[in-house]
Amino acid sequence: MTRVPGPPQGVDSQLGFTMTSEWTVDPQNPRNWSFRRKAVSTTVVSGIGFISTLAASIYAPSYEAVSRQFAISETLALLPLSFYNLGMAFGPVISSPLSETLGRKAVYLTTTPIFAIFVLGSGFSQNIAALTICRFFAGVFASAGVSLAAATIADIATPVDRAIPLAMYYATPFVGSLLGPLMGGFIVENKGWRWTQWTVLLFVAVFFPPVLFIRETYRKIILKRRMIRFNLEEPCQYQHSLGHDVHYFLTKTVARPIHMLFTEPIVSFVCLYTGFQFALLYTFVVASPHVFLTVYGFSPGAQGLSFIGFIVACLLSPIPMILMDRYVYRRKFQVFKEEATQTNAVAVAVSDSQEEFPPEHRLYCAMIGSVILPVGLFWFSWAANPSVHWICAIVAQAVTMLGSLLIYVSASLYMVDTYGPLYGASATGASSLSRYTLSAGFPLFALQMFTRLGVGWASRLLAFCTLAMAPIPWIFYRWGPNLRARSKYQREN
């Protein structure tokens, strides 16, 4: 553990922390905050993540109107949707490790206003090139809202307590992505496509101001600022030249997410699996209105209502995750702690100690979801038929989304627990890179796939892809400890 650097004797009361205390009991440690402060901080960062994904998908119903206004093909009109996701893919490569250098809050405060400026530019764009460029840079600066939130929650919550806040947070970007086209359909129909961008700005005006009042959560930044504040001698890791800092940032922080993506098997396959979940989501963001238009004759506004099944699944998905955490995960952790204490194999000095508890126990929901997801897709391939009531297709979409979220949240928790706050933001940045790269490409061919193959076979093709990836959580559950033992990035809770 890292000892809190202490001042000279006699000034402890001024500093607000105990000179001889460990970080685990330091009152400025975010994990020692009150429940209220933790809940507020989690809600605020989740709100920023919600806006980021809402801004991505709210454009989706606009592509036909943009195609007509700028006299371009519908595929070209989808580029602003894809390029926003492309920006979301590459933004975390910088923002996530930058948060480990400057702090989480500094990145939130810097990127969100710049994101709003590019959203404003998107609304005023007069051609497809300007719209695509503005949407790309809006995605770049919006990405911090998604990629840093998980790391922020990992700073606040102990490993054993992360499941509930992370389950609720991870559902938030999906809700934003699904609420976007529902809202966008009505907005485009009644106000025009530019109002989709103005609507995002209204959300920013509501959700951004609370960021000003949250506290920094990253340990290294808190300790460094404490040293500077009281003019104490800084630890050697802070005493570097500007040239060293720039070199470290470029070689370690910027390159780290990419390096982890290609050298860490856990990161590689978790990113592949969760990336496909997000790409599948954006496939339905584009294809679902088309399906309900061609199969059931829904109006533009009613097409947005086809996302209700997805949204309900997102809202309900934390329930099975919380139940699994409470009745399976925590009980296994309690048994582990008792056995470790009795055998003296592991020092368990405080109730939140989880340094040796295998993160593979996080994979139970992913293993369940790996079965539910293809079932939902096969069901949808049968249900999306004029002879079958449309509610069956909506329920099938809800089952698909439930399975997808069980995989996404569980696998992401596994990766966060594996690498902890120290490298967690970089691992999350690698995850954002993969899932938003895939979600940028899938919308460009989703319509053609569903048109040429038909709804049934297009859905079956996606189902077979999920079947091929279904063994991933099962393999990690069995061989994860061996992979973690070979990792170059040591876990730190």
Domain range for 349 is: 25-230+243-485
3-state secondary structure of 148: helix
pTM for the model:
0.81
Q: Has residue 16 been placed in a domain?
A: no
Q: Has residue 17 been placed in a domain?
A: no
Q: End-to-end alpha-carbon separation of the chain, Å?
A: 10
Q: Has residue 7 been placed in a domain?
A: no
Whether 66 contacts 131, CB under 8 Å? yes
When divided into structural domains, the chain yields a total of 1
CATH of the domain at 49: 1.20.1250.20
Q: Has residue 3 been placed in a domain?
A: no
The H or E element that residue 204 is part of is helix 194-207
> Residue 17, Cα to own-chain centre: how many angstroms?
33
How does 74-97 read in b/e, with b if 16+ C-beta sit within 10 Å? eeebbbbbbbbbbbbbbbbbbbbb
Token pair 């079958």 in the structure block, residue = 388
pLDDT value of position 354: 45
Token pair 């923002």 in the structure block, residue = 95
Q: Distances from the Cα of 407 to the Cαs of 46, 154, 365, 412, in angstroms?
A: 19, 19, 6, 8
Token pair 């056995």 in the structure block, residue = 339
pLDDT value of position 353: 45
List pLDDT tens digits, range 191-235.
Answer: 999 999 999 999 999 999 999 999 998 888 888 888 877 776 555
Q: Has residue 302 been placed in a domain?
A: yes
Q: How far apart are CA 116 and CA 106, in angstroms?
A: 16
> Which residues, given as ranges, of the chain have pLDDT below 50?
1-20, 236-238, 345-354
pLDDT value of position 157: 85
Q: Has residue 315 been placed in a domain?
A: yes
Q: Has residue 56 been placed in a domain?
A: yes
Q: Has residue 9 been placed in a domain?
A: no
Q: Distances from the Cα of 246 to the Cαs of 223, 241, 382, 394, in angstroms?
A: 21, 9, 56, 51
Q: Distances from the Cα of 164 to the Cαs of 42, 199, 409, in angstroms?
A: 11, 30, 10
Q: How far apart are CA 317 and CA 321, in angstroms?
A: 7
- At 191, the amino acid letter reads K
DSSP 22: B
Tokens for 186? 């009505």
